[in-house]
Amino acid sequence: MGLFTSPARFLGLVALLLLGVYAGSFRNGFHYDDFHSLVENPHIRDLGNLGRFFVDPQLFSSQPERAMYRPLLLVSYAFNYQVSQYGLPGYHLVNWGLHLVCTFLVYLLGRSLLGSALAPALGALFFALHPLQVEVVNYISSRSETLAACGCLGSLVAYAYWRRGGPVWLYGVSLGALVCGLLGKSTALAWPLVLALYEWSQPAVGPRRWRFHLGYWLAAGLYLLFTQSMVAKALGQPVRPLAVQFFTQLKAGVYYIYLTAVPLHLSVEHPFAEALSLFSLPVVLATLMLGSLGAVCWHLGKGGASTWLLAGGAVLALLPASLVPLNVLVNEHRLYGSLVFVSLGLAAVVVRQDRLAWAGVGVLLVLGLLAHQRSQVWRDELSLWQDAVAKAPGMYRTHLHLGGALEQEGRLPEALRSYQGAAQLAPEAVEAHYNLGNALRQVGRFDEAAAAYARALALEPDFFQAQVNLAALYLQAGKAAQAEPLLRRAVQLRPEVAQTHLQLGVFCRTQGLLAEAEREYQQAAALRPDLVEAYFNLANLYFDTDRYPQAIQAYQRTLALGPHGDAYYNLGDLYLHQGEYQRAAEIFAQGLARVPGTTKLSYGLGRAQDGLGLGREAAASYRTFLNSNQAPPALAEQLRQRLQTLENITSQEPR
C-alpha cells in the first residue's frame, strides 16, 4: 500500500508503466494536422515569435485559413524545434511527459475526493493505461489536449486543496492554471462549470465561496472575447445544423461509453454517421441508455456528493466538443478530460467491492497491453490509415488520407484508387476531387485532372489551390482564355501568395501584357525575396524590351540566390549583344564551373571566345557543345561550318 499512498513512489510507478507501454513509439511519425501546424509552419522555428503566439491566431498554421488560438501549443513546438528541429523522439517525449503529469494530477484529485488510499491509484492507472489515450500520446497535435487538461486538472486540484484548508496562494495557482488550460485549447472553457460543480457538491469542506469563482468566469469571458471571430465562424457557419449536431452527439455519448468499456476497435476515423432527427431509432435508444446509465450511477454512488461531481464532470469535460459542430463526428482524444472522472468513478466502485479488486488489476494489465499494441498502429501515416480503412471502409476520409499516405510513398496507382474511392463515397467532398486532380496530374492524365479540379471548384468556387492548379493545366494546354479568370480570382483571394503573382505574370507575358507582367513579377519578388523565378522572369522581360542595365541587375539578383544555368546563359548572351565579349566569357565560364550540366554554356563561351579572336579556344568550346548532342540540327550544322572555318584559320597560324 505504501506504493499507492506515497505520491513520489506512485509517480515513479506510473512513469515506469507508461515507459513500458510507449517506449516503442518515440520514433512514430508526424500525422495529418502535424504537417500544416508544425512541420510546414515557419513561425515555430523562431523563438522571436513567442510573444506573437499570444496575439495572432494565424501563426498557428502555415495555412492562414486554419487559424486557431492555441499559443501554449505553439510555444511548446518552438522549444521542441530549438532543441532537436524535427527529431521525433523529442516531440514524443513531451507528449509522454504531459500525459504522465495529467495522470499524477488525477491521482491527487482522487486523494482529495475519494478518501481512500487505493481508489485514487487505481483510477489514475486506469486513466494512464487506457487505449483511448494512445491517440493523445502519439499524435503530436493532440498535445493541445494534454496542455489544456494539465491546466484544468491543476486548477481543480489546487482549488480542492485550498478549499480543504490549504494556503490561499493555492487559489492563485488554481486561477493561473485555468488560464494556462485556456491557452492550450478551447475545451478548457467547460472547466469553470466543473469548478462550480465541485463547489456545489462538496458542502463538507466549509461554507461555499461563490465569489471566488468570478475569476474563472472572467478568464473564460476574456478568452471568448479575444477569439470571438473564430467562435462566430464555428457557430455562425457550422459544418452541420446545430439540431443535427445535438442529435448526433446524443448518439455519440453512448458510442463513447462503448469505446471506454470495450476499447478493441479503436480508429483514427470511426464508422459513425449523423443523426438527422430526435425521433430516429438510434437517438431514441441512446437517450434511453444515457438516462438508464444516470440512474445506475446514482444507485452505485448512493447519491453521494462526489458521485455528482464525477458523473457531471465526465459530461461537462466533453461539452465543448459536443456543442460545436466539427468535421469529425467522434474522436478518441475528445474523451481525455472525461476519462479523468470516469476513471475515478470506476475505481471508487471497484474498491467498495473487495471481490473486484484483483479483477481491477487484471483489467489494468489488459488495458496496458492493448495500448501498447494500438500505439504501433501510429508508426506512420500509411499504417495509421490502412488500419482506419480496414475498420471504417465506408468513411471517405479514411480513403482520402490513405491516398495521401500512398502518394507520399510514391505509390501513385494505389493512391489514385483511394482518392477515387473517397470521391465516390462523398461526391460533395471538395478535398476528395482536389486530391484526385493532383494525383491524376502527376501521372500525366491532364484532361481528367482538369475535370477533377473543375468538380472541386463547382463545389467551392473560391478554392484557392484548385484555381491555381487548374489555371496551370489550362496554360499548359494553351487555353489562356480559361486560365485568366482563375488566376485573377486567385490573386484576389490570396494576394499574399507570391507564387500566384508569378503565374499571373507568366500569363500576362504570353498575352503581350508586358507592363502588367512586370508588376506581377515585382510583386512576387517583394513578397518572396528568395523566389528565384520572379527575378529571372523579370530579367528576361527587361532583356527582351532592351532595358539592359535593369536586366543585368535582375540576373545578378537571380544568381545571388544560387546557381542558375539559364540565368548565366542569358546574362552572358546580354553581354554578347552589347559586344562585351570578355565580360560574356567570364559569365559563361562561371556558369560552367557552378552548373557544369548546362552544356549550352559551352556554346555561349565559344561565341564569346570567337568574338575575342580566340579561335582554338572557341573551337574547343563548340566541340564540347556539339558532343553533348543538345544542339538543334540547324545550329549543329552552322557550328560545323564555323569549326571548319576556325580550323582553316588556326592551321595557317604559326605555332
DSSP one-letter string for 28-46: ----THHIIIIIT-GGGG-
On the 0-12 / 13-18 / 19+ scale of CB atoms within 10 A, 522 is: middle
The three grid cell numbers given for residue 82, joined into one nine-digit string: 530549438
**Strands in 407-509 per DSSP E:** none
Residues with Cβ within 8 Å of 504's Cβ and at least 6 positions away in sequence, in order, are 487, 488, 490, 491, 520
DSSP 161: H
Under 8 Å between Cβ of 410 and 446: no
Q: Helix 633-652 vs helix 615-627: angle between axes, to the nearest 10 degrees?
A: 150
CA distances to 234, 448, 455 from 461, in Å: 20, 19, 10
Under 8 Å between Cβ of 189 and 150: no
Q: Which amino acid is at 16?
A: L
The residues of the chain scoring below 70 in pLDDT are 1-3, 204, 206, 229-238, 281-284, 286-287, 290-305, 353-358, 650-655
C-alpha–C-alpha distance, residues 430 and 463, integer Å: 9
Binning the chain into helix, strand and coil, the percentages to the nearest 5 are: 80, 0, 20
C-alpha–C-alpha distance, residues 323 and 293, integer Å: 21
**Per-residue model confidence (pLDDT) at position 204:** 67
C-beta neighbour count of 525 within 10 angstroms: 23
Q: Which domains does the chain have, with CATH numbers?
A: 2-30+86-377 (no CATH), 563-655 (1.25.40.10)
The full length of the chain comes to 655
**Per-residue model confidence (pLDDT) at position 229:** 67
Under 8 Å between Cβ of 393 and 383: no
C-alpha–C-alpha distance, residues 106 and 7, integer Å: 11
C-alpha–C-alpha distance, residues 60 and 279, integer Å: 40
In the numeric block, the cell 488495458 is attached to 367
The three grid cell numbers given for residue 613, joined into one nine-digit string: 579572336
DSSP 467: H
**Per-residue model confidence (pLDDT) at position 54:** 94
What are the φ and ψ backbone dihedral angles of 562, each rounded to 5 degrees? 150, 165
Chain centroid to CA 541: 39
The three grid cell numbers given for residue 438, joined into one nine-digit string: 493532383
C-alpha–C-alpha distance, residues 120 and 135, integer Å: 24
C-beta neighbour count of 636 within 10 angstroms: 15
User: CA triplet 239, 241, 242: central angle to 5 degrees?
Assistant: 105
DSSP 37: I
Give the predicted TM-score (pTM) of the model.
0.82
Comparing CA positions, the residue from 481, 489, 454 lying closest to residue 470 is 454
